[in-house]
Structure 1
Amino acid sequence: MGPGVTASAGRFFRTVETDVLVVGGGLAALRAAISARQAGARVLVAVKRLFGRSGSSALTTGGYAAALPALNAHDDRHLHYVDTVVGGGYINERALVHALVDDAPARLAELWEFGAPFRKRDGRYHLSSSGDHSQARVLVPENMRGGDMTLPMRDIASALGIEVLENCVITDLLQNEDRVVGAVGIARNRVEGIVIAAGAIVLAAGGAGRMFNITSNPADVCGGGFALALRAGARLRDMEYSQFYPWRLIHPFKSTRVPIQPSTFSIGGRLYNSKGERFMEVYDPVRKDATTRDLSARGIFEQIRAGHSVEGGVVLDVSGIPDDEFRYENSKVVQLLDPKKIDYRAIKLIVAPEAHFFMGGVLIDDSGHCDLHGLYAAGENAGGTHGGNRLNSNAVPETQVFGHRAGVAAARQAPAARAGKPDPGPIAKAAARLQALRSDATSPAPEFAALHEQLKQAMTLGIGIVRTAKGLERAIADAAAIADRLAGLPVQTLGDLTAAIEIEDLCAIGTACALSALARNESRAAHYRDDFPKTDPAWVRTITYDRNGVGARPLVVDPNEQGLIARHEAARKAPAKPAEPEHVK
């Protein structure tokens, strides 16, 4: 791609060339960039905010789930595989699950080599239990913050000579016929456009939690990676599946996000509604409160909907948990309360669900490659691994396993990419939008915030925890109406332009989610239809979505799988006390 490509864009654009472009700045992007660079490619990372310090990865309190028989003799990758498929409602892409459970231990060892610290007790690594895993297999970062992993990885990336464009919003992918050959973006903090020529691109830009009223996702997580793939013509999959984290503490905390850790329920935590009922026994008579996230979120939501809530949520009873265990598993809670001399055991703890994670994403193979030549996806941008529900702490290994695979594959493919002049349309569109700006002010006009609030309200009502055909159709209509109103707003400042791009993306992805949910006429895992409350075996298949609308594809299932799952499930349903945390070297 030569300088002539951007001649019509005038003074606004500069051109950059690289072998592999990685879009995003979290754990999947970091891993893809490092692996591509180690494979010999020139690598450029374009991130909307700060590399390794923004997005959901930097803020996560989640751990790393991996079957490590050397540390836990009772665990193996087969158990991890079965847990993931059963927890995902049997619609996971099996090849991706095999890749996850097979590669997770090796990628964890590399995280240790990068310098990422994980929690120990008495000098030994501590494995936390979780109701959705049959074995204790979750290692938690030392400070229960994603920065424990992203910051050491950022240092490795810097040492490897990986180039970074911070505060860069990628607005479109550039294509030459059926091949992705680059991307166009704008700076968030100055009036400037960037055209990037690349032999291969890895999308690793996170989810779209900001389409909902209450979310764990920070402000920059607006579905950009999904929207880039969709506009370019790639297929998305499983977009009807978004996960709501069930246990956000809304009392005593209001504005600060404080999650209760899933391990809390494996060591004795219980949930009660306003009638004093331990209601989760209805949803999962065996695991009860220590069930999967989809069931717990729906259980809590239905208490709220039925008028059985307590101050907008349900009560968490931790009286049966030893103080040292609660403090260890929920250190953020006590770190915030102890300085104020507030005893968590003496106050009411109330939890409620929050939008958290997208199981759906770009349709990929086990190398991270998607429908379009030269385009890859990893982390939350990729779909299929988790099926209809993600297990606790399976997200971080997903970022490392598929970030590595996509980075290596992209590095190998980039030198063979044929050069070509891209479609000038996306560049011209970005240039026109930049030329129309009257100010480089980075705060958007109030009208954009108002539209975003309208969209969040519409999507929360339409594609939240419980859905109906009527509600989904209303969400589709609302997204279209908001997109129309957005198109009529004057975009005069840099802040206006950034906000407009994010709302456009969220409208497109909200529509994808609603249409996919409308097509699945059953309830399965995190997708619950009030008008189709039963799970239908005929729906063990994948719903896809692209620019032409909804489609479907079959799932390839190992014929030996059912016997393995049946034995595993029989063992799980046997009455047993909650699993105890294990302590390993």
Structure 2
Amino acid sequence: MERETYQTDVLVIGSGGAGCRAAIEAKKHGLDVVIVSKGLSYKSGCTTLAEGGYNAAFAYVDAEDSTQAHLEDTLRGGGYLNDPELARILVEEAPERLTELESYGALFDRQESGELNQRPFGGQTYRRTCFQGDRTGHEMMTALKEEVIRQDIRTVEEVMITSLLQDEEGRVGGACGISLQSTDLVIFHAKSTIIATGGAGWLYPVTSNALQKTGDGYSLAWKAGADLLDMEQVQFHPTGMLYPDSRRGVLVTEAVRGEGGRLINSQGERFMTKYDSRGELATRDVVARAIYNEIMEGRGTENGGVYLDVTHLPAEVIEEKLETMLLQFQDVGVDIREEPMEVAPTAHHFMGGTRINPQCETNVPNLYAAGEAAGGVHGANRLGGNALAETQVFGRRAGEYAAENVAKSKFKLNPAFLEEEEGRIKKLFREGDYYPFQLKKELQEVMWNNVAIIRREESLKSALNDIHVIRDKMARMKLPEVHGYNQHLLDALELENMVLIAELVTKSAIIREESRGAHYRADFPKTRDEWKKSIVLNKSRNEEYLAR
């Protein structure tokens, strides 16, 4: 196995919105910065797929809006499980970060007055979601990419990071991974390392996430000794596509409901007001459970969903503000100007993740996290529009404080570490009974059937047992050596991370004996005051709790 080595000051793992913003900020300090990505740079994360918008309390449309109102909505929507300091930072810094995006070249929709336009999103008291039609994330990533190129930041793509470099004192000094094109070992020596790898939507077979979201960052952080918190809090977006199978789970943006889309069951009933007075603009956890309930009680469509209808809107509104949705459904033979969409919930966002402080530091020296890879900002449920803001607010903070850490960083690598990692990877190439992709599918079905929208102790414990069985089967995986891009190797490495994170999600779901936000326990359907605390997991100690 050949080796390729990079020396840098700041290593950013992940090339999405948070990763690019972190790299741009670190570069401002005159440092050498490298971005490494498992997929293609700028194109493989979830930011570019985000459609709806970016929350910032500019108060251009509703003059009564304020950062305080944004904070209150965020805490209320998060079931008050949020880290209040992180939530405050999000709402206070979001407007300035959006202005910076504009300076990079991002264009957001504006009113005739020239001020930014803002649309309503679920769980928000006022209209504060800035947007670019229904392709906001794509617009952001285009601008961030151009700024990364202008700053001459090095990017390395199609390298799967398999472990963080650590010394005997637990300090991180970079990372190592495998080139998916050559299977060479790729080593990054860095004084500060930022995890910005996003979430783990592909723990489930139906997800809106990019293919790369298999919990890699959570796994890297966990194995390095970092705290993970609130891992049970997995958001299911209420509206994903239902068919064809190749498009199942693809996001149908909340902007559809923000612009006036109506949810209707198979009996022709607009049902959301039965569940929440805010109707279609209730928070995502409420809407997802309502849709699930309609389907389970026999009021779903033939394909197992409900209808999302915008046919009452003027065609020009759909063409201008929902252009991506119009084209997305036209591709499968549906004209949303004339007929309703069929939708159902899809795994979308992890509110939990690596525990950070306001400087994006983890409890592991020299290690930082930002974006969906970090937890605590959103609590038990994320408001639509807060994720894109989070990428910029905490991406910038991670880059700033990781850069400041460079001068004082200490690290001494044990050479045996690399030998051990190389040996571990080589052992994956063997004959066996199962291809990695087969075990991936088995794991996804376990999670979907037992650890999804509605949870119960019996099914959660059954899932935990099944996860352990899959882990045992991994010892009998078969992995052929191939020339060129090795999908089997990628599947095997991702499966290791997925099994670990699935176990942590399930354990946390068992521990939390209440329903709060996205975590709904049918056997504990009430929110309980004594559970207004985060569950913190660490590989070296029993679970702990953080009162909120």
TM-score > 0.5, shorter chain as reference:
yes
Note if 1:492 corresponds to 2:483: no
* Counterpart position of 1:102: 92
8 Å Cα contact 2:201-2:349 kept in structure 1: yes
Contact map agreement 2:71 2:87 (CA 8 A) in 1 = yes
Distance 1:317 1:45 in 2: 42
**Alignment correspondent of 1:461:** 449
- Over 3 Å counting, the alpha-carbon distance change for 1:264 and 1:191 in structure 2 is closer
> Equivalent residue of 2:148, what SS?
helix
Q: Which amino acid aligns with 2:447?
A: M
- Mapping of 1:419-458 within 5 angstroms? 419-422=411-414, 424-425=416-417, 427-434=419-426, 437=429, 447-458=435-446
Q: Is the 8 A contact 1:51 1:166 kept in 2?
A: yes
Q: CA deviation at 1:337?
A: 5.4
Shift in Å, 1:376? 0.4
Please list the CA deviations of residues 306-365 of structure 1 after superposition, one character each: whole Å capped at 9, or x if unmatched.
Answer: 222112101223354343334433222323456999642433422101001100000000
Equivalence for 1:190: 182
Deviation at 1:56, TM superposition (A): 1.1
User: What RMSD, in angstroms, separates the aligned Cα atoms of the two structures?
Assistant: 2.4
Q: Give 3-state SS (helix, strand or coil) of 1:246's partner.
A: strand
The answer to whether the 8 Å contact 1:181/1:422 transfers is: no
Q: 1:150 aligns with which of 141, 151, 156?
A: 141
Following the alignment from structure 1 to structure 2, what is the Cα–Cα distance between the partners of residues 435 and 260? Answer: 42
SS of the aligned residue for 1:146 comes to helix
Residue 308 of structure 1 aligns with which residue?
Answer: 299
Residues 62 and 396 in structure 1, CA contact (< 8 A), matched pair in contact too: no
Q: Name which of structure 1's ranges 138-147 and 409-418 shifts more when overlaid on structure 2.
A: 138-147
1-structure distance, mates of 2:52, 2:462: 34
Aligned to 1:479: 467
Give the TM-score of the pair, scaled to structure 1: 0.87
1:250 to 228, 238, 242: 242
Counterpart Cα distance in 2 of 1:16 and 1:457 = 39
User: Alignment partner for residue 213 of structure 1, among 189, 205, 223?
Assistant: 205
CA distance in 2, matches of 1:112, 1:71: 19
- The change in CA–CA distance for 1:549 and 1:522 in structure 2 (over 3 A counts) is farther
Q: Could you give the per-residue CA deviations for residues 368-417 of structure 1, whole angstroms, max 9, x where no partner exists?
A: 00110101000000000000000011001101000100111000101211
Q: Work out whether residues 293 and 391 of structure 1, in 8 Å CA contact, stay in contact via their aligned partners in 2.
A: yes
- Contact 1:465 1:526 survives alignment (8 Å): yes
Q: Secondary structure at the match of 1:213?
A: coil
How many pairs were matched up? 541
Percent identical among aligned pairs is 36
1:163 is aligned to 154
* Matching residue of 1:35: 25
Provide closer, same or farther for how the CA distance between residues 115 and 266 of structure 1 changes in structure 2, counting only shifts above 3 A.
closer
SS in 2 for 1:164: strand
In terms of mean alpha carbon deviation, does 326-335 or 372-381 score higher? 326-335
Q: For residues 436 and 528 of structure 1, what CA distance do their matches in structure 2 show? A: 38
SS of the aligned residue for 1:346 comes to: coil
Equivalent residue number for residue 6 of structure 1: none
Name the residue aligned to 1:269: 261
Deviations 1:53-112 (A, max 9, x none): 112122221311000146642211000000000000011000100110111111111100
Worse-matched range after superposition: 145-154 or 267-276:
267-276
Q: Show the counterpart of 1:350.
A: 342
The answer to whether the Cα contact below 8 Å between 1:67 and 1:105 also exists between their aligned partners in 2 is yes
Provide the C-alpha distance between the structure 1 equivalents of 2:2 and 2:367, rounded to a whole number of angstroms: 26
1:125 alignment partner, SS class: coil
SS of match in other structure, 2:403? helix
Aligned-partner residue type, residue 13 of structure 1: R
Structure 1 residues 423 and 206, CA, compared in 2 at 3 Å: closer, same or farther?
farther
AA in 1 matched with 2:282: T
Deviation string, structure 1 residues 427-467 (Cα, Å, up to 9, x no partner): 4223452477599xxxx997222111101100111210000
Q: Which amino acid aligns with 2:218?
A: F
* 1:173-203 deviation line (CA, Å, top 9, x unaligned): 1111131112111101112101211111100
Provide the secondary structure at the position in 2 that maps to 1:73.
coil
CA contact (8 A) 1:251 1:348 kept: no
2:73 equivalent to 1:62: no
- Three-state SS of the structure 2 residue aligned to 1:295 is helix
Match of 1:410 among 402, 405, 408: 402
Which structure 2 segments of 5+ residues have no match? none
Report the Cα offset of residue 236 of structure 1.
0.4
1:361 maps onto 2:353 in alignment: yes
Q: Secondary structure at the residue paired with 2:263?
A: strand
One-letter amino acid matched to 1:25: S
2:299 is paired with a residue of what secondary structure? Answer: coil
Moved more, 126-135 or 516-525: 126-135
The equivalent of 2:5 in structure 1 is: 15
SS in 1 for 2:381: coil
Question: Is the Cα contact below 8 Å between 1:69 and 1:76 reproduced in 2?
Answer: yes
CA distance in 2, matches of 1:282, 1:107: 38
2: CA distance between counterparts of 1:267 and 1:419? 52
Report the 3-state secondary structure (helix = DSSP H, G, I; strand = E; otherwise coil) of the residue aligned with 2:63: coil
The answer to whether the 8 Å contact 2:435/2:478 transfers is: no
Pick one of 95, 113, 116 that aligns with 2:106: 116
Asked whether the 8 Å contact 1:19–1:415 carries over to 2, the reply is: no
Displacement of 1:530: 0.5
Q: Deviations over 1:139-169 (max 9, x none)?
A: 1135615231112212211221211111111
State the AA in 1 paired with 2:534.
T
Secondary structure at 2:116 match in 1: strand
8 Å Cα contact 1:258/1:333 also seen in 2 = no
| Conservation of the 8 A alpha-carbon contact between 1:258 and 1:332 | no
**Counterpart-to-counterpart distance in 2, 1:271 and 1:115:** 36
Separation in structure 1 between the aligned mates of residue 73 and residue 286 of structure 2, nearest angstrom? 15
Match of 2:132 in 1: 141
TM-score, structure 2 normalization: 0.93
- Residues 289/499 of structure 1: CA separation in 2 closer, same or farther (3 Å cut): same
Q: Is the 8 A contact 2:82 2:380 kept in 1?
A: yes
Check the 8 A contact 1:455/1:482 in 2, yes or no: yes
Q: 1:343 to 1:399 in 2, by over 3 A?
A: closer
> Which residue identity lines up with residue 353 of structure 1 in the other structure?
P
Partner of 1:344, secondary structure, is coil
* Distance in 2 (alpha carbons) for counterparts of 1:39 and 1:139: 30
**C-alpha distance 232-160 of structure 1, shift in aligned 2 (>3 A):** same
Q: Does 1:88 align with 2:78?
A: yes
Q: Secondary structure of 1:17's partner?
A: strand
Structure 1 residues 252 and 538, CA, compared in 2 at 3 Å: closer, same or farther? Answer: same
> Which residue in 2 is equivalent to 1:510?
502
| Equivalent AA in structure 1 for residue 316 of structure 2 | D
Specify the SS of the correspondent of 2:468: helix
How many Å separate the matches in 2 of 1:330 and 1:445? 47
Match of 2:222 in 1: 230
SS state at 2:117 partner: strand
